[in-house]
């Protein structure tokens, strides 16, 4: 399916006007970055890169797309002809997926002609803004969980396509599984899920419902024990599945009190290895509040797929350099109040101290750092002459992004994981 119309009209009208003025073929550098992090966030997590590369490959104007543009007089006939042959043939560099970002980080850099590159603005931002918002929230939840596994289960709280993207982003940021089967098929993410309250209500008794589930899935399944009365539900769960019951799930109530009571009850019944998972409108704050409770795992829905209150990352796509009419490179940037941009090609480095702890995001402008500069180079080559590096795509690319995130977040100082309001944990320094 073509992704060419997953864009805003003004992308095409700019190309139309640039073709008319003869500037559409000027070499340009566009950059994706965010001016600030959401309140209370001390770092962001890059996600969506692998999805974006695949979507760019499908950015083609076929007969249907061209016919619609023609019928609706979106652009002139000469531009329709130009779009018919559109292929992105430029280069893209950027932060590896799973990497951390801060205000001003050049997350994605697109090199190409003006017309080729400007058309990708909306697609790039729609993917990176959402996926990175989900990953940034998921990373906070992962750190709040203190090593206990989290499952993403928010498909019913967002759009059908966003649900798949959210599952992928959360997995990159440390979640261990998803309830979404398409995310499992497309991206190789482990899937999980057993039964909802409707399954219990379907049966003549809670005991019959538990028996049907154990008969189908075995005693290692997870039984939902709060449809009627939690204490009675736990007793029935152990009666039906035995002390080898895999887990019980609690989806309501005062969780710290409830979990402690259920743990004591399970232990008294001899089900000492039965785990407890909780799934009651959790976010990073409620997860952190359960640190001292005997919770074994968490299921998170609404909060993670909505970025825990910040459903977009505030990323923008700006022209930072182009060749002028004489063929010379010119750095350009906005000067608007509160929206000024730094022109020029960027070379980002994560500066770390002798202990391997990140201390700054150092961004060299217009020239790469000297050989003596210390730090970790952040930009990777993602697309060369229009061809994507498949290292970053598909299920394997998703797994690599997850591994890279684990390495990158380990560099942050301890204060990065505080949930209270605060400034970015490391400063952005331009050189």
HEC per residue, 73-136:
CCCCHHHHHHHHCCCCCCEEEEECCCCEECCCCCCEEEEEEHHHHHCCHHHHHHHHHHHHHHHH
Backbone angles phi, psi at 267, to 5 degrees: -65, -40
Could you tell me the domains of the chain? 9-134+310-411+421-426 (3.20.140.10), 195-295 (3.20.20.70)
The tokens describing 70, both together, are 């023609």
| Model confidence at 374: pLDDT above 80 | no
Cα(44)–Cα(128) distance, rounded to whole angstroms? 11
Weakest-pLDDT range from 193-197, 239-243, 346-350, 374-378: 374-378
* Strands of 9-84, DSSP E: 27-34, 44-45
Please tell me the pTM assigned to this model: 0.96
Per residue in 119-178, pLDDT (tens digit) is 999 999 999 999 999 999 999 999 999 999 999 999 999 999 999 999 999 999 999 999
List, in sequence order, the alpha helices (H) in 248-283. Answer: 255-268
pLDDT of residue 211: 98
pLDDT of residue 288: 97
Cα(298)–Cα(222) distance, rounded to whole angstroms? 13
Cα(230)–Cα(305) distance, rounded to whole angstroms? 28
pLDDT of residue 339: 87
DSSP 8-state class, residue 328: -
In the block, tokens 């959210």 appear at 166
The tokens describing 142, both together, are 């992962």
- Neighbouring residues of 429: CB distance < 8 A, sequence distance ≥ 6: 351, 360, 361, 362, 363
pLDDT of residue 338: 81
pLDDT of residue 302: 98
Residue 285 near residue 419 (C-beta atoms within 8 A): yes
- Neighbouring residues of 302: CB distance < 8 A, sequence distance ≥ 6: 154, 157, 281
pLDDT of residue 174: 98
Per residue in 76-122, pLDDT (tens digit) is 999 999 999 999 999 999 999 999 999 999 999 999 999 999 999 99
| Model confidence at 290: pLDDT above 90 | yes
- Neighbouring residues of 22: CB distance < 8 A, sequence distance ≥ 6: none
Task: Assign 1 a pLDDT band (cuts: 50, 70, 90).
Answer: confident
| Model confidence at 370: pLDDT above 90 | no
Task: Assign 340 a pLDDT band (cuts: 50, 70, 90).
Answer: confident
Q: Nearest-CA neighbor of 111 among 90, 95, 126?
A: 90
Cα(378)–Cα(375) distance, rounded to whole angstroms? 9
Mean pLDDT of the chain: 96
């Amino acid at each position: 399916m073509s992704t060419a119309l997953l864009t805003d009209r003004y992308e095409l009208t700019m190309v139309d006007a640039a073709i008319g003025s003869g500037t559409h073929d000027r070499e340009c550098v566009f950059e994706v970055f965010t001016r600030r992090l959401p309140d209370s966030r001390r770092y962001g997590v890059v996600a969506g890169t692998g999805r974006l590369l695949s979507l760019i490959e499908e950015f083609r104007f076929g007969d249907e797309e061209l016919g619609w543009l023609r019928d609706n007089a979106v652009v002139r006939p000469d531009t329709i002809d130009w779009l018919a042959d559109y292929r992105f043939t430029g280069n893209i560099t950027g932060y590896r997926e799973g990497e951390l970002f801060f205000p001003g980080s050049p997350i994605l850099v697109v090199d190409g002609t003006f017309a080729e590159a400007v058309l990708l603005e909306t697609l790039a931002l729609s993917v990176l803004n959402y996926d990175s918002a989900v990953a940034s929230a998921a990373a906070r939840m992962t750190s709040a969980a203190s090593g206990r596994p989290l499952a993403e289960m928010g498909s019913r709280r967002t759009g059908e396509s966003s649900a798949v993207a959210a599952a992928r982003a959360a997995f990159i940021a440390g979640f261990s599984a998803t309830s979404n089967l398409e995310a499992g098929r497309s991206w190789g993410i482990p899937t999980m899920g057993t039964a909802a309250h409707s399954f219990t209500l379907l049966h003549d008794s809670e005991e019959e419902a538990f028996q049907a589930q154990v008969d189908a899935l075995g005693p290692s399944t997870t039984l939902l024990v709060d449809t009627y009365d939690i204490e009675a539900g736990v007793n029935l769960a152990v009666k039906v599945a035995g002390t080898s019951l895999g887990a019980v799930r609690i989806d309501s109530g005062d969780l710290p009190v409830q979990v402690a009571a259920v743990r004591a009850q399970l232990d008294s019944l001899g089900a000492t290895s039965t785990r407890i998972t909780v799934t009651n409108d959790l976010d990073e704050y409620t997860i952190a509040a359960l640190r001292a409770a005997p919770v074994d795992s968490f299921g998170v829905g609404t909060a993670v797929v909505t970025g825990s209150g910040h459903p977009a990352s505030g990323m923008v796509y700006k022209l930072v350099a182009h060749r002028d009419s004489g063929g010379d490179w010119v750095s350009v940037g906005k000067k608007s109040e509160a929206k000024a941009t730094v022109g020029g090609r960027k070379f980002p480095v994560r500066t770390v101290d002798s202990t391997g702890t990140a201390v700054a995001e150092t961004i060299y402008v217009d020239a790469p750092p000297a050989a003596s500069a210390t730090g970790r180079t952040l930009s990777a080559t993602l697309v060369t002459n229009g061809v994507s590096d498949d290292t970053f795509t598909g299920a394997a690319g998703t797994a690599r992004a997850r591994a890279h995130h684990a390495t990158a977040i380990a560099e942050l100082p301890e204060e990065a994981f505080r949930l209270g309001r605060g400034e970015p944990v490391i400063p952005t320094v331009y050189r």
